[in-house]
Chain A
Amino acid sequence: MCLAVPVKIVSVSGDEAETEIGGVRRKVSIAFTPEVKVGDYVLLHTGYAIGVVDEAEAEETLKLLEEIASLSEVH
């Protein structure tokens, strides 16, 4: 029920946006994320963008995970 997937904003029109994931396009409501721009990724839940994916944070997390993996190789 609380499933949400990251989809890319392709175009914005009023409180709706066209999104794309894996070649599939869908119109979604951006009533909760009016700040989104084309190229942003949003978390899509039952037809609504409930949040914008923070790309800088996403990279930070991956960096942290890579550091942990390299530490475990050393030991």
Chain B
Amino acid sequence: MKFIDEYQDSKLVKGLAHQISQRSTKPVRLMEFCGGHTHAILRYGIRQLLPKTVEMRSGPGCPVCVTANADLDRAIALAHLPEVIITTFGDMIRVPGSYSSLQQAKAEGADVRIVYSTLDAVGMAMANPGKSVVFIGIGFETTAPTIAASILKARQDKVENFHVMALNKLTPPVMRALLDSGETKLDGIVCPGHVSVIIGSYPYEFIPRDYGVACVVSGFEPLDILLCIDKLVEQIEKGEPKVQIAYPRGVKPEGNMKARQLMDEVFEIGEADWRGIGVVPQSGLKIRGKYEQFDADKVFPVSMKPPREPGGCRCGDVIRGVATPLECRLFRKICTPERPVGPCMVSSEGACAAFYQYETPDDLRSS
């Protein structure tokens, strides 16, 4: 398919891998922020193509994974309200909360439905006028405009029974939080391609300036990711960290103004609770007061038991890039995609799920 197949050409992959090996002289640690990148890196065996000097760490860019248990518990509580239909993206349904999951709630009789698009959720509200349809609004800047658009559509079409639980999170503020914590020393960041389609590349400028860390925006095909890593290694070798775009067919420095305008119309910036990281100021989106009739948290206040985390699960460490999934003692033994303990094993973008699917354990590798 156009703009996909040509960026998977094995001859070009070999050439680029060779150039990276030639260029790289000192050990570097790079973080791929986005779960989509983690998945692609493992799927295409990119780790095996890189020289030993280049270490990749997964980051917090998996929306399902970073959803805090307190928020998930609230969504599950709403699902149990008799008048509510919960709509959500597919991955979310199986994530274990503190005491249950949306899937378990569904098995107990709650009306929980998977949708492909926020517009499907608005359509479902129109088709079920006697019910309240609540969309669980997770995702980063890529998805936030689509949620804003659904609220604007509901207002325009007077769909009064459509509501959103606003859990959208912002990328640059959490990058700052990770760099400030200093837990994982990073030399470069593979910046998320489709977040950057919306926000552009300017919001990353503080990273090389304040932290001396290289930043390159990447697409999702193997050649895109290798080109990004090549540019990161080049910057680091030269000692000249800056922001570059290695995905210019998709990303412009200024991003998508129209999408951002719609996002700003509906949302204001507030704090957000990230699993494994905690509350990060200015890293979340809240529905503005003038749209509060669509805000599920305003319309359906629920009181909750305090959240709790599953024992032994290192999802939080994996999200922060402090540990790889292979360092979790539950990984592949107790925690599997069939019986996930934490969200990083549930989501198709979770690092644990990607490692489980594509990484051969050392003890199984033929010598």
B-binding residues in A (CB < 8 A): 1-6, 8, 21-22, 29, 31-34, 41, 43, 45-48, 50-51, 53-55, 57-58, 60-62, 64-66, 68-73, 75
Contact = CB atoms under 8 A, between A and B. Distances in A.
B246 to A, nearest CB: 8
B249 A50 contact: no
A32 B145 contact: yes
Given A2-B192, A31-B258, 7 more contacts: A2-B61, A46-B118, A50-B259, A53-B3, A58-B3, A65-B12, A69-B11
Contacts of B35: 1-2
A29 B70 CA distance: 33
A21 B252 CA distance: 24
Contacts of B259: 32, 50
26 contacts: A1-B138, A1-B142, A1-B349, A2-B61, A2-B63, A2-B194, A3-B194, A3-B220, A4-B197, A6-B1, A32-B149, A32-B262, A33-B258, A43-B197, A43-B250, A46-B89, A46-B146, A50-B142, A51-B197, A51-B251, A54-B249, A57-B249, A60-B248, A69-B11, A69-B15, A72-B16
Interface SS of A by simple majority: mixed
B331 to A, nearest CB: 22
B256 interface: yes
Interface SS of B by simple majority: helix
A58 B245 CA distance: 12
Contacts of A75: 18, 22
B117 A62 contact: no
Interface string B121-157: 0000000000000000011101101100100000000
Contacts, number: 142
Most-contacted residue by chain A among B12, B19, B34, B227 (CB, 10 A): B12
Given A2-B61, A69-B12, A29 B119 contact: yes
Interface string B330-343: 00000000000000
A45 B192 CA distance: 14
A43 B198 CA distance: 11
Most-contacted residue by chain A among B35, B195, B249 (CB, 10 A): B249
A70 B63 CA distance: 40
Contact of B248 (A47, A54, A70): A54
Contacts of A33: 256, 258
Contact of A1 (B91, B227, B256): B91
Contact of A45 (B1, B7, B22, B146): B146
B58 to A, nearest CB: 14
Given A6-B1, A41-B3, A71 B117 contact: no
Contact of B1 (A3, A21, A47): A21
Contacts of B50: none
A2 B34 contact: yes
Nearest to A21: B1
Nearest to A65: B12
B79 to A, nearest CB: 20
